[in-house]
């Protein structure tokens, strides 16, 4: 296999899916027009860089952005592939099929047929560099784009996204069920049980006394 610069992301990625060597990278449908790509954040407790960042690392190696011995930067690897997918006219993210709040999250992308690209997407197609052979090379993110996306990636790995807090994560209820004495306020109502959810899983529960 030659690592020629004009080789397209589509060809490379199809080979990786077919190889079956990357956990979670698989076809989503029988017609092979949709595929899943693993998308676990580095901040998750069960994150394993060797497994969860393997496809992103492979792309960095293929593009000459990483070689063994360099400092591992999984957030940067992931961002580079995400950027290449977003900029390539060959791929389109199918957000309604992506599952990002499960224990093994993934994104779903559609392979856009070339006829569709020519007919309906030419006006909004991302700018691409055409080589002398007519092949389209995969554009890298600009430094500013890359930095912005890496910040977003690292930010998500440190703090939960807002959607994780929309699952009724704070439950306030009295812990004392006996009838309240007349004319006095039971301390039961000054306590609150707070449950922390991350990715749909209960991570921690704590009891808070309100003053």
Classify domain 9-159 by CATH number: 1.10.10.10
In this prediction, residue 97 carries a pLDDT of 97
Average pLDDT over residues 182-209: 64
Residue 138 has pLDDT above 70, yes or no: no
Q: How far apart are CA 41 and CA 156, in angstroms?
A: 7
In sign, the C-alpha dihedral spanning 147, 21, 64, 46 is positive
The larger pLDDT score, comparing residue 101 to residue 198, is at: 101
pTM of the complete model: 0.63
Average pLDDT over residues 103-124: 83
- So where are the chain's domains? 9-159, 164-209
């Amino acid at each position: 296999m030659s690592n020629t610069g004009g080789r397209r992301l589509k060809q490379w990625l199809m080979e990786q899916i077919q190889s079956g060597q990357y956990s979670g990278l698989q076809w989503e449908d029988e017609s092979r027009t949709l595929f899943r790509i693993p998308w676990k954040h580095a901040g998750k407790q069960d994150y394993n860089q060797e497994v969860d960042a393997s496809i992103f690392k492979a792309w960095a190696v293929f593009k000459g952005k990483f070689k063994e011995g360099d400092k591992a930067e999984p957030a940067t690897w992931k961002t580079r592939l995400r950027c290449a997918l977003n900029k390539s006219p060959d791929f389109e993210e199918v957000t309604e099929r992506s599952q990002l709040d499960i224990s093994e999250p993934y994104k779903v992308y559609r392979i856009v047929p070339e006829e569709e690209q020519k007919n309906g997407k030419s006006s909004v197609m991302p700018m691409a560099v055409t080589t002398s052979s007519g092949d389209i090379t995969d554009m890298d993110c600009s430094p500013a784009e890359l930095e912005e996306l890496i910040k977003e990636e690292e930010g998500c790995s440190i703090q939960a996204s807002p959607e994780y807090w929309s699952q009724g994560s704070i439950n306030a209820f009295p812990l004392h069920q006996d009838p309240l004495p007349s004319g006095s306020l039971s301390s039961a109502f000054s306590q609150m049980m707070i449950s922390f959810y991350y990715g749909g899983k209960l991570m921690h529960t704590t009891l808070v006394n309100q003053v």
